[in-house]
Each structure stands twice: as C-alpha cells, then as structure tokens.
Structure 1
Amino acid sequence: METTAQSDRRAVYALFAIVVLASASGNLSQTAVNAMLSDIMGEFGMAVDLGQWLTTSYMLVLGVTVPVATYLSRRFSVRQHMFIALGFFLAGAMADLFAPNFGVLLGGRICQAVSAGMLMPLMQTIAMTRFPAGRQATAMGIAGIAMGFAPNIGPTIGGAMSFAWGWRSFFVLLVVIMAVLAAASACAIKPSAALDRSARLDVVSLALSTLGFGGLLLAFSDASSFGIASPFIWVPMLLGTLFLVLFVRRQNRVDDPLISMNIFKSAQYRAGFVAQNLLNASFMGVTLVVPLYVEGLCGGTALEAGIVLLPGTVAALVLNPLAGVLTDRIGVRPVALVSGAFLATGAVLMSFLEADTPLYVVTLCQAVRAIGVSGLVGPLTSWCLADLPRPIVSDGSSFCIAARQACASLGTSVMVFIITMAGASAAGTADPALAYQLAFGFSALMAVATFGFIVAKVR
C-alpha cells in the first residue's frame, strides 16, 4: 500500500513535470517564431522592422512579468498559479492561430510571454523548495531542459512546421500542448492553501520594475539597430537604470515588497547571481551570430548553420540533467570548474575562426562551448538559490531571471553591434572575418570572466 510520503513525492514529480513542459513550451515559442518570421511577414505584408517586434516584444514582456511571479506565488495556490499561466498561454496561442492581422498576432505573443514569465520562477522555486536536499540540483538540471534545450530546438521545429504546413501549424501544436497540460493540471495538482491570501501587490513597485527592466531590455534591443549615440539607446538605458535603482530602494522601505532584497544578504546568492549573468552575456548571442557567420561569411546554407548549432541542442538535452545529478553527488565546484573550462576553451577557439575554416572545425568549437554552457546552467542556478531561506527563494529566482534576460539581451546586442561596426570599417580590406572574430572575442571575454569568477567564488 502506498505511503503518504510516496504519494506526496509522486505529486511533486507530477507537478514538476507539468511546470517544466509548460515552461519549455514558452521558451520554444520564444525562438520558434524567428524561423517563421519571413512567412508571417509575407502573409501580412510587413517590413522586417515591424515583424521583429514579434520576438522583441516577447523578450520585453517576459522580462517585466517575471517579478510578478513572486506575488502570484504568495497570493495564489500553485494550482491557481498554474491555471492563470496556462490560461494566458492558451489564449495567446489561440489568438495567434486565428490572427487576422498583425495586431492580434502581436497580442497573442504578449499573452504567451506573460505566461512564460509566470512559469519560469515557479519552476525553479518548486525545484528548490519541494525536492529534498541532495535532489535539488538534479531537479534544476531537468529544469535546464526548458531553459536550454527548448529555445535551441525552437527555430528547427518552427522552421520545419512552417515549411511543411504553414506557420499557423506551430500554434496548433501549442494549443494542443496547453490543453493537455491544463487537463493534466486539473487531475494531478491538488487544491491547496495559498501562502498568504492577504498579500498585496505594490503597484508602484510593479511600475518601477516594469520601467526599469523594460527600459534596459529595450535599450539593449535597440543597440543592434541604431548607432551608439542614438537616443533610442541611451534614453531608455538611463531611464531604465534610474527606475531600477528606485525599485531596489523601494523594496527596502515597503512592508510588502514585490521582490525582497534580503536575497542579497546571502554571499552565495550574490556570487551565483554574477556568475549566471556573465554566463548569459557570453552564450545567448552566439546562437544568433553563428548562423550569420556560416551563411554571411562562409557562404554556407541555413541547413549547415543548423548542423553547426546541433551539438549545443543535443548537449542541452543530455548534459543539463547529468550536470545536476553530478552536482548532487560530488558538489557544485568540480562540475562548475570542468564546465567553465569547456566554455572558456570553446569560446576562445571560436574567436580565431576564419572565412575558410572548415565547418567541422566550427562545429567542434561550438560543441566544446555548448558542453560548458549545458554543464553550468542548472548547477549555478541551484547553487545560487540553495542558501536562501525558503520564503524568499521565489524572490531570488524572479530577480535572477529578470537580470539574466537583460544580460542575455546586452550580450547579443553587443555582438551584433560589433559585427555591424567592424564590418563597415573592414569593408574592402583583406580580412572580412575580423568583424566576426571581434564578436566571438566578446563572447570569449565573458566566458573567461565566467570561468575566473567560478574559480574565485563558487565553493
């Protein structure tokens, strides 16, 4: 006969599986549209500068929604939290499936981003608070599939479905997935009491958080499209920084902070926070720059660019859970040191790529770098949150995710900006690869900084 402990454990596993699959769907949706963008623009007669808002808006809305997850986790039960998030996603997927114009399509994307912003902190909080000590890194490694594998495979799935059945077929898939997850949630997630029914949403804090993170994300997104002196960059950047400072100050003064700044009292959290931000600044932009390098400089095809990135996708699927298991068994430091060394080595090697470098060499360098990324995502996240008191784990998760989004956007924008500026300067010279070498060099700098920080701080 099943004991209460076994029943509770199975309930946690079922809940976690549902949240991971829902979060993976959100991250899949974020990147899949990139591969479908040309078909969407063709149907609605849009220019690129308008169409790119389908991806930019997703990133912006996800980044500003994440902090609200801390309030939702207090005010509502996990079951209610899940149904709210799944409801937003299902409504957004339905809107996109039947969208008669760009406005409806954009509104659907925004709803999906709101859902993803609600789910990602919940996923990490469940991994850190509902799994026993000795299993938390393993759980976070499994969660890494949603954070690493899903966004990497997104363009492949989106492009294949758009080519075979049209771009709307992808949203049919999302609707089916969300309907199944909603039914599974109704059956598997038991009703429970909320942590604090009296929790209040501090609207001023929400506004400051939205303007702060939103301003930075908008500035970094614009950096790849405008000159460095453009007001479209420095105005939102300055305002975003100002509002973010005001947000942090307010959290220390109000009785019901949106995110408790007590998270930064933990030295372990502070170190993990910096390491994760350096990591995201290093690796996110590479997934955009590699296709540009393969197709734009080497004269390769989109298929060849996909093959170069394939090891990263496979590594994320296999190594994220493996790194979590190893972290629980031997500790975070050896796993992080080995993975950090792979990351730094692969990133440095990529900064020496030439226009005539064989693609199998490029693939090998990318594979080495991807092994490092996949071995760091879960362990660093679990180690970062492990020292926090359980009541503020959700706060730490939310703030870290929002900051990581900003740093990923910054790293990507810097790499694209370098390619644009260096490419213009090198036009007509004998070294057309210089622009890409400098962009990969920035990624290598961030990777080496990540490894150095791990050596110094991760214990």
Structure 2
Amino acid sequence: MTAKNSCVDLDGKKYNRILLICVLLVGSFCAILNHAMLATALPDIMKELKVDAANGQWLASGFLLINGIMIPIAALLMSKVSSRFLYIIAMMFFLLGTLLSAAAHQFPVLLAGRMIQAAGTGIMIPLTETIFLLVFPKEKRGFAMGLDGLVIALGRAVGLTLSGWVVDNYHWRVLFYLLIPVSLFVLVIACLTIRRIIPLTHSKIDYLSIVLSSIGFGGLLYGFSSVGNHGWTDVNVVMGLAIGTVITILFIWRQLKIKEPIVNLKVFRSPLFSLSVVVGGTIMTAMIGAELVLPLYLQNSRGESAFFSGLVIMPGAIVMGLMSPVTGIIFDKIGVRNLAIAGMCLLTIGTIPFMFLTMSTTYGFMIVLYAVRFFGISMVMMPMTTAGMNTLPDTLMSDGIAVNNTMRTIVGSIGTSILISVMSNVTKTELPEKNMFGSDPTLYNVLKTDAVLNGVNAAFMVAVSFCLLTLALTFFIKERHIKHRIQ
C-alpha cells in the first residue's frame, strides 16, 4: 500500500483507495451488464412470454423507474446507515432479484425480479458515485468519473454482445445464471474491502414523500407506456398522465415545505447543476431508447440474430468506454461548455439518419453512425454530471447525486417508454388487416414490414427531437456558472 493511495475512513482505519475504487467499479460493471443484456434479449423474451413491445419495454422502463425512485431513498439511507453496510444490502437485493429472474417462467415474475434488481441498483449506483466524489479531490473528479464512465461503457459493450450470443445458442435465462456467481463474488469482496466513507447525519425519513414520488412518477410512466396499446386519447393514458402530473406536483410542493425532504431541491440553485440534470435525462432517453428500438428493427424486420444486433451496437459502447477517461481529463483542463456543445452536435448528427432506415440500409453505415452517437455521449454525459456536482458544497454532495440520478433515470424511463409507445402506436395503426393475409399474403407481408419500419423511424424521430432540445440547452452553459459554487 503506497502512501499516495492510503486513506483513512471514518473509523480512523487506513485503507487503499485504489482497491476500494476497483471493488466499486466491479459492482457498477455488474449492474450495467445486467441492464445492457436486456436490449438484445428482449425480442426473444417477448416471443417466449407472449408480450408485445409496449408491455415488454416495462422490463427496461419499469427497471429505470424503480431505480429512480430508490435513488433519493438511498441518499437518506446514506445519512443513517454505514456506507459499508448499505453497499452490502444493495448487492444482496441485486442478487435476490437475479435469482428470481433466472427462475421466471411468466412475465410478471420476471418483471418482479427486475424490480428487485432495480432496488439494489438504485442504492448501489449513487452510493458508488458519492464515495468517488468524496475520496478524490475536486481537480481529479473528472478523471475519476471518466473511469466510472469507462466501466459503464464496458458493461454495455459486453452485455450487448454476450446477451446476443447466449440467446442465439442457449436461453435468455442463462444471462441471469451468469450474473449469479459474479454478484456473489462482488458481495464477498465488498464485505472485506468497503469502508465507512460517508458521514452520518441521521436524517428523518418522510414516508409520505416516498409514497407521493412512487405514485406520481409511476403514473406518468404508466400513462406514456400505455400509448402503444391504447393511443393518446384512451382513458387509461389520460388518467395515468393526469394523476401522475398532479401527484408529482404535490411531491415537489412537499419537498419545498418540509424540513428534511427526501429530495433536497436546494441544489437547483446552481444553474449549471440544473442544466446537467436536464441534459442527463434527455441523453438517457436517446441512449437507452435507441438501444431497445434498434435490436427490435434488426431482429424483427431484418431477421438478424440477437448476437448480430449486439455486434452492431457494441462498437459504439466501446468508443464511449475508450473516450470516457479522455473526456474526463479534457474536462479537468478546459471545462464543460465546448465539450458539451460538440458532443451534442455529434449525437444529433449520428441520430438523424436513423429516421430513414430501410430494409436495405447497410450494417456498416449503422455501425459507424451508432459509434458517432456514443462518441458524442462520452463528451457530454460524465463531464456535465461532474461540472454540475462541482458547483455544490460537500454537504450537498449526496443530495446532488440523488437528485441528478433520480431525475436522469426517471426522465430516461419516461422518455424510453415514449419512444417505444410511439413505435408501437405507429406500427399498430399502419398494420394491414389480418384478412388480407389470406387473399394476398405477399402484399400483406410487404405492408407489415413497412408498418414496422415506419414505427422504428417514428421512434428515432422522437429521439432526434430530444437531441435537438438538449443541443439547444448546452448553449446556455456560461463560464460564470462553472465558477459559481452555491453555499
């Protein structure tokens, strides 16, 4: 153990910072691997469990929603529970959800397993980021968060291709079987290496706020997710959105009024932090939504294997992984504004051609464009997050991470459900009548393929609108915002 990497925890005991970071990164890799594997496996899961895209997407958007709801709860738990014990509990939840998912033979059971996994991930990710920001000095946080971005991208790259290979050669449940020993390994190593890093303040938990946030965000997600099956004017959609909006407003009002809110909205006094939250949410939508839509197009429309669809997406994830530490170093030297504008330009340019996919679009063209998209994301996601967090004092660090991750995840889950709902709704509207198959099967198949393609293109049109909105927002980043630190 070198003196440079030797640190002292809250109990006054020395620990190796590099070893601690490595363990946390392995845990993050496991969580991201789990989420990424679903993208290429989803078409096969939908076929076996007999669910459509509008319902199947709940395995992704529902996961993100529970994840988002748990993040502010995790921030409260950080103030009341030892960071070491909390991390171990998170890994135990993740392992339990993995076991249940592996044993699932019905869609509701698999969904329940994913929700339990999400609860563990919702604690693990913000806990990891908080520890990262506390054990590294401010001038090295860009590089530290870049390492986290590298592991996230690596998890996505491995998850997408591993998932495709497993689904093509074995069964999608094998994906969860593979996660079980990895989760056990992380759990055992965490028991030996994780230390108490985060100071405890013993904040009071407001249970009503937890209920309001769950109902509010859940209602919004349910409303947007139901569009694919019922259309925008259906009573389920309207009621879901209306109830979700009202309850979410009540939740926000309560956070402003009570003494110890579960989401400390004081962090929004920082203009740059506020921008980083919005940008992070829209990027999550563009990233995760595309990861679900593209494999559906490749497997259902083009008839490609799950492994092949993973290979198409993998280079983009690798590019993001390689660039994340680099952009972290660049951020530490030049700041975030120029990085964010350039990155959003690349993401927007790389997404626009996906609005015009056809049955003859070359795979090389898609691979290059997807890599361009993720190159842009690597220039925006972690630098914006780090810049926003750097404007907060250490006393608001855990609150900032909770708010950032909560809003980013929930906006991402709702945005993803919007993309899938638009795709499903357009496809359903343009599908030919089933009786045409008997009279002219050739024309029926052509029209069916066109309907699916139009649905995919419509989803990417929505993704482009998110990209354009975010690009416009990056021009509002000012140097004075970067230098301003709220108290």
- Shorter-chain TM band: 0.7 to 0.9
Provide the aligned length of Structure 1 versus Structure 2: 456
State the Cα distance separating 1:97 from its structure 2 match.
Answer: 4.0
Alpha-carbon separation, structure 2, partners of 1:264 and 1:454: 17
Query: Structure 1 residues 169, 441: closer, same or farther in 2, change over 3 A?
Result: closer
How many Å separate the matches in 1 of 2:91 and 2:397?
A: 22
Q: Would the aligned equivalents of 1:272 and 1:458 in 2 still touch at CA under 8 Å? A: no
Q: What corresponds to 2:51 in structure 1?
A: 48
Please list the CA deviations of residues 419-444 of structure 1 after superposition, one character each: whole Å capped at 9, or x if unmatched.
Answer: 34444349659976554444323222
Mapped to 2, the partners of 1:46 and 1:226 lie a distance apart of 21
Unmatched 5+ residue regions in structure 2?
A: 9-13, 433-446, 480-487
**For residues 110 and 165 of structure 2, what CA distance do their matches in structure 1 show?**
20
Deviations 1:246-283 (A, max 9, x none): 11111122222111110111111112122222322333
Q: 2-side partners of 1:415 and 1:105: how far apart? A: 22
Aligned to 1:228, what secondary structure does the other structure show?
coil
Aligned counterpart, 2:225? 221
Distance (Å, rounded) in 2 between the aligned partners of 1:111 and 1:341 = 37
Taking a change above 3 Å as real, the CA distance of residues 220 and 155 of structure 1, as seen in their structure-2 partners, is farther
TM-score by structure 1 length?
0.88
Q: Which amino acid aligns with 1:3?
A: A
**Counterpart check, 1:330 vs 2:350:** no
Residue 335 (structure 1) shift: 2.2
Matched, 1:409 2:429: no
- Residues 10 and 377 of structure 1: CA distance in aligned 2, closer, same or farther (over 3 Å): farther
- Distance, in Å, in 2 between the alignment partners of 1:34 and 1:429 is 23
Contact residue 142 and residue 331 of structure 2 kept, 8 A: yes
- The residue number in structure 1 matching 2:463 is 443
Partner of 2:351: 347
Per-residue displacement from partner, 1:372-407 (whole Å, max 9, x unpaired)? 112221111111211112222222222222222232
Distance in 1 (alpha carbons) for counterparts of 2:426 and 2:178: 41
C-alpha separation between the residues in 2 aligned to 1:236 and 1:385? 33
Cα distance between partner residues in 2 of 1:204 and 1:243: 11
Residues 353 and 143 from structure 1, CA distance in 2 versus in 1: closer, same or farther, beyond 3 angstroms? same
TM-score by length of 2: 0.83
Matched residues in 2 for 1:340 and 1:99: separation? 40
Which residue of the other structure, out of 62, 80, 83, is the alignment partner of 1:78? 83
Distance in 2 (CA, whole Å) between partners of 1:221 and 1:24 is 28
SS of equivalent residue, structure 2 residue 361: coil
The whole-number CA distance in structure 2 between the counterparts of 1:377 and 1:38 is 28
Aligned partner letter, 1:321 = P
Task: Give the 3 Å change call, closer, same or farther, for CA 300–91 of structure 1 in structure 2.
Answer: closer
- Which moves more between the two structures, 275-284 or 384-393? 275-284
Alignment of 1:313-324 (within 5 A): 313-324=317-328
Q: How far, CA to CA, are the matches of 1:119 and 1:246 in structure 2?
A: 28
Larger displacement relative to structure 2 (252-261 or 291-300)? 291-300
SS at match of 1:256: coil
8 Å contact from structure 1 (residues 218, 236) kept in 2: yes
Instruction: Please say if 1:245 is aligned against 2:249.
Output: yes
Amino acid at match of 2:261: P
Match of 2:267 in 1: 263
Please tell me the residue identity of whatever aligns with 1:323. T
Change beyond 3 A, Cα 1:3–1:310: closer
* Residue in 2 that maps onto 1:94: 99
Aligned to 1:58: 63
Preserved contact between residue 351 and residue 373 of structure 2 (Cα < 8 Å): yes
> Which one of the candidate residues 383, 387, 390 is aligned to 2:387?
383
Q: Which amino acid aligns with 1:388?
A: L
Q: CA deviation at 1:409?
A: 2.8
Q: Contact conserved, 1:320 with 1:375, CA < 8 A, in 2?
A: yes
Supply the distance in 1 between the matched residues of 2:351 and 2:395 (Cα, whole angstroms): 38
SS at match of 2:258: coil
Cα distance, 1:100–1:93 mapped onto 2, change above 3 Å: same
Retained in 2: the 8 A contact 1:426–1:434? no
- Select 2:143's aligned residue among 124, 138, 153: 138
Mapping 1:54-203, distance limit 5 Å: 54-98=59-103, 105-151=110-156, 153-191=158-196, 194-196=199-201, 198-203=202-207
Distance 1:240 1:308, change over 3 A: same
Distance 2:359 2:171 in 1: 34
1:6 equivalent in structure 2: 6
Decide whether aligned partners of structure 1 residues 331 and 39 sit closer, same or farther in structure 2, where only a CA change above 3 A counts.
closer
Closer, same or farther: CA 372–52 of 1 in aligned 2, 3 Å: closer
Matched residues in 2 for 1:246 and 1:379: separation? 32
Summarize the Cα distance change of 1:95–1:339 in structure 2 as closer, same or farther, 3 Å threshold: same
Distance 1:130 1:217, change over 3 A: farther
